[in-house]
Amino acid sequence: MTELELARRAAAAQAVKLIRDGYTVGLGSGATMALAVREIAALLKGKSNDVCFVPTSHQIELVALSLGLKLVSLSEHPELDLSLDSADEVDDALNLVKGGGAAMTREKIVASASKRFVVIVDEHKRVRKLRRPVPIEVLPFAYPAVKRRVEVEGGRATIREGEGKVGPVITDNGNFVIDADFGVIENPAELEELFDSIPGILESGLFVNMADEVYVGKLDGTVELVRRMS
C-alpha cells in the first residue's frame, strides 16, 4: 500500500466511527471508498447491529456485498443518516470536484438525501481553488450539443474514453461522461448553475456547499478534520 493509500485509509478509519447502530449510510464510489467499506466491515465485525447501506455504483455494491454488509435502496430509505464519499479535489470552502469514477450523479443524489455528508481524502486533494476538469454526465443524444455549449462558454470538452474497451465510458445510468475543463474555478456555484442550465446534462461533478466535514489523511499518519463554516 502506498503512502497516499495509507493516508486515505487512516482518514477512512476515523470517518467510519461516525456510524451508529440503526443508521442507514450512503456509500460513494471509487478506490478510497473501497478502503472505507473495508474499514466499515472491520468496525462492525462481530457486533450486533442494524446498520444498512445504500451504494452509489455497481463497483461499491460488489465490494460491500463481498464483505457481508446489508444493502438497501433509496426506495426503502429515502432519507439517510449519513453519507461517506471521497473527492478528486476539495477547496478551502469544502466545495468538491467529484466524478473520477463516473458515479457523480448517484453520489450527489445520495449525498443530498443525507442528514450528514462526510468526505474522505488525502492531503494532496486539498487545494485553495478547484482546478480539475469537471465531469458531467450527459445523455448520449445530447452529447454534440452539450460539447458545443461547453466550448462556447469557454471550456474544453473531452468525452471520456474507456480503458480496456473501445469507445466512451458508460455510466451506471447508461450515459456518457464529458470532462469539462474551465481551468481554475473562481466561482464554483456560478459554474454549477451553468451546467444546470444546459439541456442534456444530467448532473455535474461539482458539489457546492454540500460537504459537512472532510477527513484529510496526512502522509505523516495524522488525520485532520475540517468542518464547513456555517
Name the active-site residue from 39, 107, 192, 203: 107
The CATH number of 134-204 is which of 3.30.70.260, 3.30.420.40, 3.40.50.720, 3.60.15.10? 3.30.70.260
Q: How far apart (Å, rounded) are the C-alpha atoms in residues 181 and 133? A: 4
Q: How do strand 201-204 and strand 213-217 relate by DSSP bridges?
A: unpaired
Quote the Cα angle for 11-36-53, to 5°. 130
- Distances in whole angstroms, Cα of residue 40 to Cα of each of 30, 104, 217: 15, 22, 17
Domain ranges of the chain: 3-128+208-227, 134-204
* Number of neighbours of residue 220 by Cβ within 10 angstroms: 9
Q: Residue 50 pLDDT > 70, yes or no?
A: yes
pTM of the model: 0.94
Kindly state the cell numbers that stand for 139.
Answer: 445523455
Residues 70-95: tens digit of each pLDDT: 999 999 999 999 999 999 999 999 99
Q: What percent of the chain has pLDDT over 70?
A: 98
Residues 92-129: tens digit of each pLDDT: 999 999 999 999 999 999 999 999 999 999 999 999 99
Q: Which CATH class is domain 3-128+208-227?
A: alpha beta
Q: How far apart (Å, rounded) are the C-alpha atoms in residues 131 and 182? A: 8
> Is 5 considered catalytic here?
no
3-state SS, residue 229: coil
* H or E stretch covering 227: strand 223-227
Kindly state the cell numbers that stand for 87.
Answer: 473527492
- Distances in whole angstroms, Cα of residue 115 to Cα of each of 74, 98, 100, 129, 130: 14, 20, 24, 26, 25
Q: What is the pLDDT of residue 167?
A: 84
Averaged pLDDT of the chain: 95
Q: What is the pLDDT of residue 230?
A: 66
